[in-house]
Amino acid sequence: MDRRRSRIIAVAVCLGLLGAAIPIAAMAYISWVIAVEREQDRLELFSRVTLLRATNTLADAKGALDAIAATSEIPCSEAHIARMRALSVNTRSIEEMGYFEDGLLKCTSWGRTDGEVAKSPVDYVMPDGIEMTIRMQPLVSGGKPMMALHSGSYNVLVAPSRFVDVLIDDGMSVALATGQGAIINTLNAPDAALVRSLVSQPRKGMTDSDLFAAAHGDGLLAVAIEPRSKIGASLRTEQMLLLPVGVFIAAFIVAVVIWLSRKRLSPLAELEIAVRNREFVVHYQPIVELKTGICIGAEALVRWRRPDGSLVRPDLFIPLAEESGLIMPITDQVIEAVILDLNGTLVQDRTLHIAINLCAADIKSGRILDALEDRLANTGIRTQQIWLEATERGFMDIDAARVTLAKARERGHSVAIDDFGTGYSSLQYLQGLPLDALKIDKSFIDTIGRDTATSSVTSHIIDMTKSLGLFSVAEGVETEDQADYLKTHGVDFGQGWLFSKALPAAEFVAYHRRTKEKYGAAPEIIQAAAE
């Protein structure tokens, strides 16, 4: 496995893990936020109810203070005391009423006093001026501690329980405090420090251990608190709803990641990247004149050099390239490589040729001719030095093929049929095509010397090239016997491992120079063509 593959797989695994973890974590978090919010809303409702209850109680008490202030009875007269008693009885929230003179309690709704009880110290002055004493011992009645509200010459006593006279949930605690944070009364012992801190804080919130909500109004503060553990039930409800959504999104993302990475790992994607990165190199297999051994050219054979340095044989990617259309940019890269590798050598030796393999699409469209023309311009390479090889697969659209081949020859290229004998080529059909050469397929060369049924076909094919007036190239020549046979039967050129395998450019140039020194200049037919 090369580096690119392992990188794609590593990235895919990371993305897959993230893609799975993030939606699930996000949904878990959202469930938690929603559950917290819901609990806080509930707490806020309780704090408002508590505040409402308290302000109603206060309004009630103030009503009684206003009513008594409006009487014209002589203070502490029978009638005055009776009036105070009537108000205490009829006002639900107040237990007792008192009348003061010079800061001393003169009489209460119970009757006259000895006049020695002083007005209780004021803890808090309400926004409307009423003075509040949060806790005092009613000396006259001697009952439970009360809250005193003092206005003008009167006070009323209110049982603190009246202020938080609300029903609350298990585990919840509530507090009512003055606007300055002095606690008036509580239920279920809330954290006093927390209550005090809420005088100036936002309405809802959370500490390490508790959730809380506060309501402010009429100089009072109502707070509802519950432990964070209370979120649990609410959280589970949300999770039941949202976690499956998270799992679904996670599964979707993982599926997309798998799909994309498989696509990126597909042979086609790899080939696309190879084209983009220009990972193709060309090797050159010498073509020699059988009679003399002189190298008259080479076939350009493409190889895919992977980033790890390995070479991939064309059989393994050309079919996919043809199917996908990537063969066209590959052919362009082959042409560019030929020019880059051999420009100098081709200009120096006009008898040298390079054969380029064309794909079916190029033969059908003729695009290749313009591509060649563009790239050969200003190189000094002659069109005569570029041979084109086309297989019969390229002749599906015979009319289009005829046009392209004719145009190619018009421009000076020689055209050869590749893999000749393996298709359905009939003499009649070949006669109609503008051709220069036939490349006899290796499968026929293989039969030479073997007494098989096809060996007679080989000599028949050789005869056919002659009757068509074409020159012939034998492919896949591996033995001297084959070369001798081909030579005696008049085949012009040979290509095969007997002479050389396909070589990298520099080695081919050296091979060409060596054979030239050894066997001399190119043969006449090639010389003549080069003039």
Which residues contribute to the site for ligand C2E (CB under 6 A)? 285, 300-302, 313-315, 318, 327, 331, 334, 357, 359, 418-419, 475-478, 495-497, 502
Q: Is 379 helix (H, G, I), strand (E, B) or coil?
A: coil
| Nearer CB in complex with ligand C2E: 134/301 | 301
Rounded Cα distance, 98 and 89, in Å: 13
Does 436 sit near Ca ion (CB under 5 A)?
Answer: no
Tell me the closest approach of the beta carbon of residue 453 to ligand C2E, in angstroms. 21
Half-sphere exposure for 9 (CA within 13 Å, toward CB): 7
Alpha-carbon span 111 to 125, nearest angstrom: 28
Long-range contacts of residues 447-454, Cβ cutoff 8 Å, at least 24 apart? 448/481, 448/482, 448/485, 448/486, 449/479, 449/481, 449/482, 449/485
**Minimum distance, C-beta of residue 394 to Ca ion, in the bound complex (Å):** 11
Judged by beta carbon, residue 60 or residue 336, the one nearer ligand C2E is 336
Distances (CA, A) of 47 to 143, 416, 418: 29, 96, 93
> Minimum Å distance from CB 442 to Ca ion?
7
Considering beta carbons, is residue 210 or 418 the nearer one to Ca ion? 418
Q: Smaller CB distance to ligand C2E: residue 183 or 337?
A: 337
CB of residue 260 vs ligand C2E: minimum separation in angstroms? 30
Which of residues 177 and 437 has its CB atom nearest to Ca ion in the complex?
A: 437
Backbone φ and ψ for 229, nearest 5 degrees, come out as: -60, -20
Identify which of residues 315 and 524 has a Cβ nearer to ligand C2E in the complex.
315
Cβ proximity to ligand C2E, 264 vs 487, nearer residue? 487
CA–CA separation, 334 and 327 (whole Å): 10
Beta carbons of 509 and 342 less than 8 angstroms apart: yes
**Tokens 């001393």 belong to which residue?**
104
Question: Alpha-carbon distance 308 to 472, whole Å?
Answer: 39
Q: Which two tokens stand for residue 137?
A: 């011992």
Q: 396-400 contacts: CB < 8 A, separation 24 or more?
A: 396/360, 396/364, 397/364, 398/429, 400/363, 400/364, 400/365, 400/366
Residue 495 lies near Ca ion (rule: CB under 5 A): no
Closer to ligand C2E by Cβ: residue 149 or 416? 416
CB under 5 to 8 A by kind: which of Ca ion, ligand C2E, none does 318 bind? Answer: ligand C2E
The verdict on 357 binding Ca ion (CB under 5 A) reads: yes
Binding residue for Ca ion (CB under 5 A) from 39, 332, 341, 419? 419
CB of 267 to ligand C2E, least distance (A): 16
Under the binding rule (CB under 5 A), the answer on residue 418 touching Ca ion is: yes
Q: Nearer to ligand C2E by C-beta: 22 or 318? A: 318
392 binds Ca ion (CB under 5 A): no
Of 362-370, 387-395, 462-470, 511-519, the segment contacting Ca ion by CB under 5 A is 387-395
- Which partner in ligand C2E, Ca ion, none is near 151 (CB below 5 to 8 A by kind)? none
167 Cβ contact list (under 8 Å, min separation 6): none
CA distance 178 to 176: 7
239 vs 297: CA distance, rounded Å: 75
How many C-beta atoms lie closer than 10 Å to residue 330's C-beta? 22
Q: Is 332 in the site for Ca ion (CB under 5 A)?
A: no
Q: Considering the rule CB under 5 A, would residue 446 count as an interface residue with Ca ion? A: no
Round to whole Å and give the CA distance between 461 and 475. Answer: 13
Quick one: tokens of 17? 């893990």
Q: How far is the CB of 26 from ligand C2E (least distance, A)?
A: 51
Q: Least separation, in Å, of the C-beta of 1 and ligand C2E?
A: 23
Cβ at position 336, least distance to ligand C2E in Å: 12
Looking at the DSSP assignment, which residues form a beta bridge with residue 59? none
* 95 in contact with Ca ion (CB under 5 A): no
**Binders in 469-488 for Ca ion, by CB under 5 A:** 475
CB 311 within 8 A of CB 303: yes
Q: Which residue, 205 or 314, has its beta carbon nearer to Ca ion? A: 314
Q: Does 389 help bind Ca ion (rule: CB under 5 A)? A: yes
Residue 87's binding partner among ligand C2E, Ca ion, none (Cβ under 5 to 8 angstroms by kind) is: none
**Smallest separation, CB 270 to ligand C2E (Å):** 18
Site for Ca ion in 225-264 (CB under 5 A): none
> Shortest gap between Cβ of 450 and ligand C2E (angstroms)?
15
Pick the closer one to Ca ion by CB: 355 or 369: 355
Q: How many residues bind Ca ion (CB under 5 A)?
A: 5
Q: How far is the CB of 8 from ligand C2E (least distance, A)?
A: 27
Structure tokens at 224: 């509802």
Q: What residue 185 binds from Ca ion, ligand C2E, none (CB within 5 to 8 A, per partner kind)?
A: none
Please report how close the Cβ of residue 324 comes to ligand C2E at its closest, in angstroms: 13
In angstroms, give the least distance from the CB of 497 to ligand C2E.
Answer: 4
327 binds, among ligand C2E, Ca ion, none (CB under 5 to 8 A by kind): ligand C2E
Print the SS3 string covering 133-161.
EEEECCCCCCCCCEEEEEECCEEEEECHH
Choose the contact partner of 302 out of Ca ion, ligand C2E, none; CB within 5 to 8 A by kind: ligand C2E
User: CA-CA distances (angstroms) from residue 381 to 345, 347, 523?
Assistant: 9, 6, 20
Contacts of 45 (CB under 8 A, 6+ apart): none
Nearest Cα to Cα of residue 365 among 399, 392, 317: 399
Helical residues (DSSP H) of 136-277, grouped into ranges = 192-197, 231-265, 267-276
Residue 226 interacting entry, from Ca ion, ligand C2E, none, C-beta within 5 to 8 Å by type: none
Q: Which positions lie near Ca ion, rule CB under 5 A?
A: 357, 389, 418-419, 475
